[in-house]
Structure 1
C-alpha cells in the first residue's frame, strides 16, 4: 500500500513511525540485518525505508533488501532513489524493478551533486535535481499511478547552502507541486527551530504530511560527523550536556535516547506532527529503548497517555495510542516465537539486539548489520570547490606526499580519506606516520598500541567507565608494488608471527600473511559485568570491502579535475598502480614494536 494511503487510515490521535535501514556491504551483514529487521517489526512500524547509494552504487543490494521487506515480510517499504550521477536508463530500470517487487512508495532525492563539468560516470542529463525525478515519475504513464512519491527537506538548511531559507522553501514547494505527496526531513536536534520551520512550510501552502527524521545519538564521534555532514544546527545546551560525557559511550547513548524521547514529546504536543521516521543506522537498541520509554513498545496497543500528559499542553489532554499495522506481517512475526539464533556476536551473555552497539565502522565486525555505515541520502562532506581549496592541484607524487603531510601537520583539515583533522591518538605516533609518508607510503589509517588504559582516558578511552581498553598497533597506507614485495618478504622472514599484513590492489590481487579466516581484534575493552567488547576487527572480508571503497575514492577525487589534466592522469595512475596495505602488530604490550620492526636496519623505509 502507498504510504499516504496508510497514513490516511489512522486517526489524528494515533502516532506512527517508520524505520530506515541501509544495505550492508557484506553478505553476513545483510543476513544479520534481516534478523534485526524481523525483531524490530514486532513494534509495528507503519513502513520501512531502504536507502539508495549515490550514483546507484548500492542498486542491487537496495532493491534486494527492499524486495525482501516488501514481499517476504509484507511490510510496506519506501525505496529511496537518488537521481544525479545515475547512468542513463538506470532510473527507469530501478522503478520497473521496484514495481515488480510490489513497492509503491519512492523517496525522491537528488543525491551527490555533479562533480564539475564532466562526471566520473556517464550521467542522465534529464536528472539534475530531485524535482526532476518527482516530475518524471508523476508524468510518465508507466509509473504515474503506481507510486506515491515523497521528498526530502532540510529544517536547518541544505548542507550545500545553495540558497537562503526562502529559496529552499520555494524549491520544496516546487517538489510538492511536481507531485510530492509527503516530506521526510533530514535529522535535526533543535525542536523549537524545527517547529518554527514547519509553520513556514505551512504558510507556503504546503499541506502534505511532514515526517521528522529522528536519529538517536549513538556515539559522540558519529554525532559530530553526521551533524557536520548534514549541516545540522546543534543547540549550545546540547553540546554543553554532551562534552562532559563524550568519552563515555554508554552515557552518550543513554543521553541520545532521553533526548529523542523529549524531542518527540515536544513535537507531538504541537499538533501538526503525526508520524516519525527513525534513522536507525542499522542499529537496534536505541530505537527500541525510545519506543519503550514512549510506551509504544511491543505491538501491544498500550495507551500512550503519558506522551501528552508529560508535555503540559493545557486543560484538555488528548489520548494518543500507538498505531497497529494489522494488515502487515509484523503481527505474525511478533507471535511466531523466538528467532533462530546464529546472529554474529551473540554469546551466552550477549543479546543479539545490542552486540554491535559500540562503534562499528570501517574496521568493525563485518558480520554486523551496521558494518560499513553509510552517509545519509548520498551526501558528501565537501563540495568540489571546498575539496580543491584543501587538496589543491596535485600533478606529481611529491605533491601528493605534501598534501598528506599537510594533514599530519594540521595545515589542512581533511584528505579524501580522512574527513576530519588528525585524531589525538594518531598524534601519539605522528613521528612514525610522518616518516612513512615522507617515504611515499601515504598513511590513511592508524592507531597506537594501548595496554590496559582506563576507559575514562580522554584520548583513547571509550565505552562505560570503570573499564580498561586495549589496542594493537596498526597502520594503513598506499604503497608501490616494489615496496610491498620488500615489506612482505620482511614480514615472512623476520616478523616471527607478531606482524601480519593485508594488501590488495584495484585489479583484485590480494596478499596476506594472516592465517586463513583469521579475525584480528585490534581494539577491545574489559568492563564490569560485561563480556569482552571487541569494537575494531581487521580480517580479510572487511579489508576487501574497504579496499573497494578506498580505490573508488581515488576515482572520485580524479573526477574533480578536467579529463585530460595532469591531476586526473596522476590520480588515476595512483589508483591503477598502487596497493592498499594494512600492517598489524600483535604485541600490544610494546608500543614501539611495529615501528622498530619497520625501521630497524632501514632496509625498506
Structure 2
C-alpha cells in the first residue's frame, strides 16, 4: 500500500492518533547482522509503524542486499516498506533491475535520492544527475504504481547556500511526481517549523515527514550533528554536556529533549507523522514513542490491526492467502521460502487452491539454521545429553533464551498459561517444539489472543508438538486410544512420524483440522490455522534437517577454535542419536472447551527409557 494512502487512512478515523510513525534501517555488513536486524524489525513490527524504509548503499553503489531485505520485509515480516534508491554513478540498467525487483516484491514506495557524489570529487558517471530525473524515469516507466518520496534539508545543503534555490529544487522534484517529503535530521524545532511555513507558501503541499534522530550516546549525538551539518540548540548542550560520560543519563535526558521537539512538531499542525532514524537500534526509539504515548494511541487506532493470527505477507502473490499450517508458526522465514513457488494460496479451504507440494529443503546450513555457528554457540552452548537439550528449551520457555533451532524468535505471551506444564514435559523427556492453548469465544480485541475484525470471537483447539523417544511412542498411542474410548466427545487426534517418514495417525488421509477459527459479524467463519498430513510430513523433513545442521555447524572452523574437540564429538553423537531415536508428534484436543491440563496429564502419565 502507498505511504500517502496509509497516512490518509490512519488519520481519517473519528479518533486518529496525534501522530503515526515509521522507522529507517540500514543494510548491515554481515550475514549474521542481517539476521539480527530481521529479528529487530520483527519485534518493532509490534509497535505498529505505518512503514519502514531501507537504505541504499552510500555513493550510489549497487546493492542487491537492499532488494533482498525489501523482499523479506514485505513478504515474510509483513512490513510496508519504502526502498531508498540513488542515481549517482548508477547506470539505468542497475536502476531498472532494482525497481523491477521492488515491483515484484510488492513494494509500492521509493525514496528517490540523488545520492552522495563520487568520493574523488569528479562528476557522476550515472545516467541521471539529479533526483528529479530519477523521479521522471520512475513515473514514465511505472506510472502511478510507486509512491515516491524525496529528501529535503530544512537547515540547508552543503552544496547550495541559497535557500531560495533549495525551495526551487524541492518544487521541481514535487512537480516531477513526488508524493511525500522525508527530511534530514535536525534538532532546531523552531527553524523546522518556520521552514514548513516557507515550503507551504511556496506551493509545495505534499506531506512533510520529519526525520527524527534519537539520542543514544553523547559522542554519537555530536558526531551525527556535525556530519549532517545541523545546528544544535544551546539548551540541548546545556542539558547533555554535564552528563556526557553517563550513557544511561544521556539516553534518558536525550529522549526527553527529542520528545519535546516531536511534541512541538505535532502541535504545529504541519506534521502528523514522525520518521525515526533507528541506526538499527530499538531502545532509544521506543523510549521516545513511550514518552509521546504514541504506541498505545496507534494501537487503539482501528486502522491498525491484525487480520489474522499469523503475520500476513504483503507480497502481491499472497494477497488472498488466509490459511497456513500451524507447524511453521515459529518459522515464518522458512514457510515463505518453501511456498514461494506456489501459483495460488489457500483463501477459503486449505484444499481449494493448494499447490501440490512444498518446496524441497535445499538450503545451506546458514540459511536453514538462521544463526551463525558462533551465535548458535552463544545461544545454546554445546549440549552433551538429553538433559542439556531439555534445559535449553526450558530456558526458552522462561524467555531466557531468545531463539531455538525450530523457533526464529522469543516465545510469545500467548503460551504463558501453558508454560509450567511445558517445562514439566521437557523435564520428563519430551522436547517441545510448538503449542497453543484452547480458547472458547475470546473477544477479537483481546490484547493477547485477539485477531480479526472488531466485535468478533476467536476460538482455538489445544495443540502440542514435541519430540519423544520412539520407545515411548507405543505407550503414547495406547494412552490416546484409551482417552478417546473413555471420552469420545473430547477426541484427541495425533500424527506421529520418524525421521524416515514412517507415519502413524488416527486421522483420515484427507482430514484438514482447523485449530484456530474466528466468528465475525457479517462475515463467513475464518479458519486461518490448520493441521493436516501433507504439510506435517514436509515439516518433519525440516525438523530433522535442522537437527542435522546443528551437528554440521559444530564442525566448522569457527566452533573448533572455541570448543574442545571431545565436546564437539559428544555433541555430534548425541544429536545424531537424538535425530534417529526420537519421533515427531503432534496432538490436538478437539474439545476446545476442555481444560488445558488434559493432554499434559496424559503425557506425564507415560514412562519409558527417556521419560
Q: Which residue of 2 aligns with 1:265?
A: 263
Measure the CA separation in 1 of the matches of 2:91 and 2:195.
35
- Deviation of 1:87 after TM superposition, in Å, equals 3.8
Deviation readout 1:563-585 (Å, 9 max, x if unpaired): xxxxxxxxxxxxxxxxxxxxxxx
CA spacing shift, 1:71–1:331, aligned 2, 3 Å: closer
CA spacing shift, 1:35–1:116, aligned 2, 3 Å: closer
Aligned pairs for 1:205-244 (under 5 A) are 205-244=203-242
Deviation readout 1:64-86 (Å, 9 max, x if unpaired): 11111111122210000111022
Q: Which residue of 2 aligns with 1:274?
A: 272
Q: Which residue of 1 aligns with 2:58?
A: 54
CA spacing shift, 1:298–1:269, aligned 2, 3 Å: closer
CA contact (8 A) 2:83 2:111 kept: yes
Q: Which residue of 1 aligns with 2:87?
A: 83
CA spacing shift, 1:109–1:330, aligned 2, 3 Å: farther
Q: Tell me the TM-score normalized by structure 2.
A: 0.50
CA contact (8 A) 2:9 2:303 kept: no
Deviation readout 1:197-245 (Å, 9 max, x if unpaired): 1000100000000000111011111112211111111111111111111
Larger Rg: 2
Q: Which residue of 2 aligns with 1:307?
A: none
- Deviation of 1:330 after TM superposition, in Å, equals 8.7
CA spacing shift, 1:155–1:264, aligned 2, 3 Å: same
CA spacing shift, 1:197–1:79, aligned 2, 3 Å: same
Aligned pairs for 1:40-439 (under 5 A) are 40-57=44-61, 59-115=63-119, 118=122, 123-124=125-126, 126-138=127-139, 140=140, 142-158=141-157, 160-297=158-295, 301-302=299-300, 324-326=304-306
Q: Which residue of 2 aligns with 1:382?
A: none
CA spacing shift, 1:91–1:235, aligned 2, 3 Å: same
CA spacing shift, 1:323–1:296, aligned 2, 3 Å: farther
- Deviation of 1:55 after TM superposition, in Å, equals 3.9
CA spacing shift, 1:331–1:247, aligned 2, 3 Å: same
Instruction: Name which of structure 1's ranges 11-20 and 270-279 shifts more when overlaid on structure 2.
Output: 11-20
Measure the CA separation in 1 of the matches of 2:38 and 2:309.
14
Measure the CA separation in 2 of the matches of 1:99 and 1:323.
25
Aligned pairs for 1:440-589 (under 5 A) are 517=561
Measure the CA separation in 1 of the matches of 2:209 and 2:400.
31
- Deviation of 1:251 after TM superposition, in Å, equals 1.2
CA spacing shift, 1:246–1:351, aligned 2, 3 Å: farther
Q: Which residue of 2 aligns with 1:17?
A: 21
Count of matched residue pairs: 335
CA contact (8 A) 1:73 1:329 kept: no
SS in 1 for 2:299: coil
CA contact (8 A) 1:188 1:213 kept: yes
CA contact (8 A) 1:45 1:325 kept: no
CA spacing shift, 1:273–1:299, aligned 2, 3 Å: closer
Quick one: higher RCO (CA 8 Å, sep 6+), 1 or 2? 1
CA contact (8 A) 2:62 2:94 kept: no
Measure the CA separation in 1 of the matches of 2:253 and 2:269.
26
Measure the CA separation in 2 of the matches of 1:352 and 1:208.
46
Deviation readout 1:132-177 (Å, 9 max, x if unpaired): 1112112x2x31222111100011112x242321111111111101
CA spacing shift, 1:330–1:281, aligned 2, 3 Å: farther
SS in 2 for 1:162: coil
CA spacing shift, 1:189–1:300, aligned 2, 3 Å: closer
CA spacing shift, 1:299–1:195, aligned 2, 3 Å: closer
Measure the CA separation in 2 of the matches of 1:351 and 1:278.
29
CA spacing shift, 1:161–1:300, aligned 2, 3 Å: closer
Q: Which residue of 2 aligns with 1:568?
A: none
Measure the CA separation in 1 of the matches of 2:400 and 2:308.
26
CA spacing shift, 1:247–1:224, aligned 2, 3 Å: same
CA spacing shift, 1:338–1:197, aligned 2, 3 Å: farther
CA contact (8 A) 1:47 1:78 kept: yes
CA contact (8 A) 2:310 2:329 kept: no
- Deviation of 1:338 after TM superposition, in Å, equals 8.9
- Deviation of 1:292 after TM superposition, in Å, equals 2.0
- Deviation of 1:329 after TM superposition, in Å, equals 8.9
- Deviation of 1:328 after TM superposition, in Å, equals 9.3
CA contact (8 A) 1:42 1:299 kept: no
CA spacing shift, 1:117–1:156, aligned 2, 3 Å: closer
Q: Which residue of 2 aligns with 1:31?
A: 35
CA spacing shift, 1:280–1:350, aligned 2, 3 Å: farther
SS in 2 for 1:198: helix
SS in 2 for 1:137: helix
SS in 2 for 1:89: helix
